[in-house]
Amino acid sequence: MDQQHIESLLQKFASGSISEAEQRTLTDYMSTVDEPLFKALMAQYEHIVQTQGVPGVADEALYQRIQQRIAGIASPERPVIRRQWYMAAAAAILLLLAAGGVYRYLRQAPQQPMIVHHAPEQDVSPGGNKAVLTLADGSQVTLDSAGNQVIARGSTAIKQQHGQLQYTVQKTAAVSYHTLSTPRGGQFQLLLPDGTRVWLNAASMLRYPTAFAGKERVVELQGQGYFEVAKNADQPFKVVVKEMEVQVLGTAFDIMAYQEEGRVNTTLQTGAVRVKHGVSEKLLKPGQQAVLHTADHSLAVQEVDVAQAIAWKTGFFEFDNERLSVIMRQIARWYDVEVDYGEINDRKRFGGRISRNLPLSQVLRILEANGAIFRLEGKVLKVVSK
């Protein structure tokens, strides 16, 4: 089946609007998924059932087919549990797929299976909301998802609330500069004084004024950030990244500028932005991405899948026709691990979508069919090509 059709059926199943004919089609599909994918789905849903609970009830025919597959892979270490658990697991598989949480599985035929060597106590938790705010006087404030605090009052009020840093500024406020930094394994949201919203990905930094004065609003970015810019035609918004500038009036866009990636990607979701580097200048339309290659300083524009470029903001890793080394750099930044590539075969290309809310072991299990061996030793993830 066409993958979009599969996803449509899953969404209908989750919402309860699926027809009997569509239900039969979906049941047949679920009975034919390959074993690595099925095992990955089951392992993922064990985690979800144990930690979150699972709403909904699976169709009886679908349950029977899934139960047969489970019986075929049961082992002494993983005994068959009561029937109700499998009903919940079957429902959970469909629900997460419908939400896009597992993915449009690898579009490459499986080669040799990936083996994940690690003990449960070695597992690595996913990243979360955490950052450090550096004030104008050099003092630092630690931020996380749990804290609600007032950091400053007066003409520039700063508070942390519900995992977001917020600024409220009077017109008479003096201008100083703050820096918000996320570590590896961290992300954070920021509401700038003008109402612009910023999402910072892991290992990123944003430097900004506590009040926007003058003819333009200027911030500096390292790493990756997604911006929803408050409109103000009289005061254009500008993001400075290394030697490049992104100029906007009011729009939503993403900038990826990690040094290790060797390029700076500016992806436009809505509105219009102008990307400038030296004498080169490109005007982007929604759905386009400007790519600045840092090696030769070339600047080009291409059509892209915006949802893929900003998947990190919505809680996913998403990649299409991408090398394993690029995928592993994303994982390294989010799980704060070092990757030892060994003799990796980096010519293969992969595509897929994985939730960023899973422990590292679950992510590695989902990647079982990629033809490599992963070995997790403490905070070092070793990858060996087969």
Q: How far is Cα 108 from Cα 340, in angstroms, rounded to an integer?
A: 24
Q: How far is Cα 102 from Cα 30, in angstroms, rounded to an integer?
A: 14
**Range name among 26-35, 41-50, 136-145, 241-250 with the lowest pLDDT average:** 41-50
| CA distances for 143 relative to 129, 157, 180, 209, 223, angstroms | 8, 16, 10, 19, 18
Q: Tell me the residue length of the chain.
A: 386
Percentage of the chain exceeding pLDDT 70: 67
Contact 117, 373 (CB under 8 A): yes
As a whole number, mean pLDDT of residues 316-321 equals 85
The alpha helices in the chain, defined as continuous H runs, are 3-15, 20-30, 35-51, 60-73, 83-98, 306-309, 324-335, 360-366
Nearest to 239 by CA among 278, 270, 208, 202: 208
Comparison of pLDDT for 115 and 172, the residue scoring more: 172
Q: How many CB atoms lie within 10 A of CB 227?
A: 25
pLDDT of residue 165: 94
The DSSP code for 227 is E
Is residue 66 classed as helix, strand or coil in its secondary structure? helix
pLDDT of residue 371: 61
Comparison of pLDDT for 167 and 367, the residue scoring more: 167
pLDDT of residue 59: 43
pLDDT-derived band at 370, boundaries 50, 70, 90: low
Check pLDDT > 80 for residue 267.
yes
In the chain, what is the greatest distance between 2 CA atoms, to the nearest angstrom?
71
| CA distances for 203 relative to 187, 190, 301, angstroms | 8, 15, 26
Report the predicted TM-score, pTM, of the whole model to 2 decimal places: 0.71
**Range name among 112-126, 198-212, 242-256, 336-350 with the lowest pLDDT average:** 112-126
pLDDT-derived band at 357, boundaries 50, 70, 90: confident
Contact 120, 46 (CB under 8 A): no
CA–centroid distance for 74 within its chain:
32
As a whole number, mean pLDDT of residues 365-383 equals 76
Residue range 21-80, pLDDT digits in tens? 776 676 666 555 555 555 554 554 455 444 444 344 344 444 455 455 445 444 444 443
CA end-to-end span of the chain: 30
Check pLDDT > 50 for residue 308.
yes
Amino acid at 33: V
Amino acid at 351: G
Q: Can you name the residues that pair with 376 across neighbouring β-strands?
A: 381
Check pLDDT > 70 for residue 250.
yes
pLDDT of residue 101: 37
The DSSP code for 75 is B
Q: How many CB atoms lie within 10 A of CB 381?
A: 23
pLDDT of residue 342: 77
Check pLDDT > 80 for residue 84.
no
The DSSP code for 295 is T
Full DSSP string of 296-352? TTEEEEEE--HHHHTGGGGTEEEEEEE-HHHHHHHHHHHHT-EEE-TT--TT--EEE
Residue 159's contacts (CB-CB under 8 Å, 6 or more residues apart) are: 148, 149, 150, 151, 165, 166
Q: How far is Cα 357 from Cα 102, in angstroms, rounded to an integer?
A: 11
Tokens coding 49: 């059932």
pLDDT of residue 38: 52
Comparison of pLDDT for 92 and 140, the residue scoring more: 140
pLDDT of residue 289: 97
Tokens coding 345: 């075969």
Q: Which domains does the chain have, with CATH numbers?
A: 3-98 (no CATH), 115-122+313-385 (3.55.50.30), 128-309 (2.60.120.1440)
Q: How far is Cα 131 from Cα 37, in angstroms, rounded to an integer?
A: 35
Q: How far is Cα 351 from Cα 323, in angstroms, rounded to an integer?
A: 9
Q: Which of 30-39, 106-115, 278-287, 346-355 is most confident?
A: 278-287
As a whole number, mean pLDDT of residues 120-148 equals 86
**For strand 338-340 and strand 288-293, is the pairing parallel, antiparallel, or unpaired?**
unpaired
Element (H, E) at 149: strand 149-152
pLDDT of residue 81: 39
